[in-house]
Structure 1
Amino acid sequence: MSTDIFKTTIKVAHQQLDARLLVPQSPIPGILFVHGWGGSQRFDLKRAHTIAGMGCICMTFDLAGHNASDQERQKVSREQNFQDICAAFDTLASHPMVDANSIAIVGHSYGAYLACLLSEFRAVRWLSLLAPALYPDEDWLAPKDQLKRSLLQDYRLQSHTPQDNRALHACSKFTGDVMLFEAEHDELIPRQTLLTYRQAFSQANSLTHRVLKESNHALDEKVAQRNYSVLLYRWIQEMIIGARIGHLPKDIA
């Protein structure tokens, strides 16, 4: 890894010490966190803080209509939230220290669904999907809160292909690395949905599927949150930090 060297001084009592400041020229991987429907960035803030300490630049944000009044949330559509995640990704990618070709998205439920859609339009290298939701393409512009839950549940219990769903179509074209997290006692996302996503990632460089034992969709139990965090950190270290180390000179790596 190449570095820039800057001359500087360190002031101590009665003198100045000659010093050199070494700054890496190589940009740093970026990670965008996308929360679920009705949630907020608070869901991932602690994890983002920990991962930032591993050497990544992390961004959390609130989707439009979230972390706000119920009245605002009732009006927002999937199209609006898709534009939100596009703007968030572009903001992160434009940071001068971020490697625009080394960006991961960590999404939960609705946020994971949006992340898959985004991967077709932006240079996403890694996808971590926690209990990814799946929606039919119809009513894309309608307020998301007006979609009937009973119909959504029936849709998710069925098997679908990339030919009949935009999100799955994006997954079928994704060539990066994927981590799928399944909540063992998920009351909203049936196992069939996870299997549908898994089958769609036919061109992924790697795919890891982990079941979070004794966990529900929201990871309400502390043990479920801890297990998810530990597995996510390990995957981040292996995939993202590992890729960065792989670019180091052999005598360093």
Structure 2
Amino acid sequence: MAIQSEQVELQVEGESIAGTLVSPGSKMPGILFVHGWGGSQQRDLARARQITGLGCVCMTFDLRGHEKTESQRLTVTREQNLTDLLAAYDRLASHPAVDPGAIALIGSSYGGYLATLLTAHRPVKWLAMRVPALYWDDEWDTPKQALDRQRLNHYRQRILGPADTRALAACAEFAGDVLLVESEHDDYVPHNTLMSYRSAFVGAHSLTHRIVDGADHALSSEESQKAYSSILGTWIGEMVIGARLDRYPHYAPWYA
């Protein structure tokens, strides 16, 4: 990796001393984590720290209606949460160390759904979704918590396409690399929903579909958590870090 050096002068008590700023000659990929409904950034922080060690800038955040803004849980809408995600993306993309042309989204459940919508508004190179939820387009301004659960269950059992919902339409336009992770025993996001997403990515550069055996929606067991971390880590290493090595062949982490 190319290293840039810049000679600087520091003013101290009326005198000037010399210094040198040494910085990477290339910018790093940015990775944005989007938690699910009822979750928080805390679930993503451990994985974010591990991935940052590979040479990425990672960001986690709490959607409105969660953690410090939990008082808004009954009123926050999908539109507001998408606005949250857009703000987080823009903050990450503006970081001086981030390559704005190399940004990945990692979304879980509701966060995966929001991530697909964001791809219609901002450039995304890699999209990883664990048990992505699916919603109809109507009632967009209705509080998310007020959406009919029974209707959602029936809706997600259907095989849907890009003409049926904005999320799948965004998937059809996505040209980057995709990871879909399914839980074998998911009571909230059934297999048919994953197949709707999978079928929608008609223009993706690559698509990887993995199933976590024995896992429920929340990855309640330690074994399931480890399995997902392994799947995600392998994919990130191949797609994101691999792409960086292709672009900057002399790059190597300092600890390699």
TM-score > 0.5, shorter chain as reference:
yes
| Equivalent position SS for 2:51 | helix
Give the aligned residue type for 2:148.
K
2:111 counterpart of 1:111:
yes
Following TM superposition, the consecutive aligned residue runs of length 4 or more in structure 1 with deviations greater than 6 angstroms are: none
User: Which residue of the partner structure matches residue 160 of structure 2?
Assistant: 160
CA deviation map 1:54-113 (0-9, x unaligned): 110000000001124754201100000000000000000000100001000000000000
Instruction: Give the whole-Å Cα distance in 2 for the aligned partners of 1:248 and 1:104.
Output: 18
User: Which residue of the partner structure matches residue 185 of structure 1?
Assistant: 185
User: Which residue of the partner structure matches residue 38 of structure 1?
Assistant: 38
User: Which residue of the partner structure matches residue 49 of structure 2?
Assistant: 49
User: Which residue of the partner structure matches residue 237 of structure 2?
Assistant: 237
Instruction: Give the whole-Å Cα distance in 2 for the aligned partners of 1:249 and 1:143.
Output: 48
Instruction: Give the whole-Å Cα distance in 1 for the aligned partners of 2:220 and 2:58.
Output: 24
2:204 counterpart of 1:197:
no
Give runs of aligned pairs for residues 214-225 of structure 1, distance below 5 A: 214-225=214-225
Instruction: Give the whole-Å Cα distance in 2 for the aligned partners of 1:203 and 1:42.
Output: 33
Instruction: Give the whole-Å Cα distance in 2 for the aligned partners of 1:69 and 1:120.
Output: 27
Give the aligned residue type for 2:201.
F
Give the aligned residue type for 2:2.
S
Give the structure-2-normalised TM-score.
Answer: 0.90
Equivalent pair of 2:3/2:22 in contact (CA under 8 Å): yes
| Count of equivalent residues | 242
> What RMSD, in angstroms, separates the aligned Cα atoms of the two structures?
1.8
| Equivalent position SS for 2:67 | coil
Instruction: Give the whole-Å Cα distance in 1 for the aligned partners of 2:164 and 2:122.
Output: 21
Give the aligned residue type for 1:103.
I
Give the aligned residue type for 1:59.
M
Gaps in structure 2 of 5+ consecutive residues: 9-18
Percent identity, aligned pairs only, is: 51
The Cα of 1:23 is off from its aligned counterpart by 2.5
Give runs of aligned pairs for residues 22-37 of structure 1, distance below 5 A: 22-37=22-37
CA deviation map 1:151-206 (0-9, x unaligned): 00100000111012000000000000000000011110010000000000000000
Structure 1 range deviating more: 153-162 or 60-69: 60-69
CA separation of 1:44 and 1:250: change in aligned 2, threshold 3 A: closer
Give the aligned residue type for 1:187.
D
The Cα of 1:24 is off from its aligned counterpart by 1.7
Instruction: Give the whole-Å Cα distance in 2 for the aligned partners of 1:51 and 1:196.
Output: 29
User: Which residue of the partner structure matches residue 208 of structure 2?
Assistant: 208
Instruction: Give the whole-Å Cα distance in 1 for the aligned partners of 2:248 and 2:43.
Output: 33
Equivalent pair of 2:2/2:250 in contact (CA under 8 Å): no
Instruction: Give the whole-Å Cα distance in 1 for the aligned partners of 2:129 and 2:249.
Output: 32
Equivalent pair of 2:245/2:251 in contact (CA under 8 Å): no
